Structure 1
């Protein structure tokens, strides 16, 4: 329904962008903060750059502006 993660995105915001497209599709979100167990192993983020963060923010702005629910850059590649 949304074609998975947008593979143009590198570090930061991929999960939020996917969630925003699901909301645009009509899926209701539910807050789980303090209600679910989650473990994250901390690690260095040498791949995190200002350029990648800026690019991801631009993609998220475009998704919000167009209220997109589908990405052409996900699981199914469009010719």
Structure 2
């Protein structure tokens, strides 16, 4: 079996990269559009966690921020 040439072999399996020349139309991203909304949200969440890891020392995921508020009605 013949080995693919280095230029033909992907650097990272599963990762797609494209070169878009100045003035050329951007190709449609059929891979991203084929995903379900749940898969897209999962992909964005993975990127969000990676960005947060670069910008903070803690490895914890952000939690839903809750504020405690007490409302008093007049006359009660």
Same fold (TM over 0.5): no
Structure 1 or 2: more helix by fraction: 1
Q: Which has the higher contact order (CA 8 A, sep 6+)?
A: 1
Higher Cα Rg, which structure: 2
TM category, shorter: 0.3 to 0.5
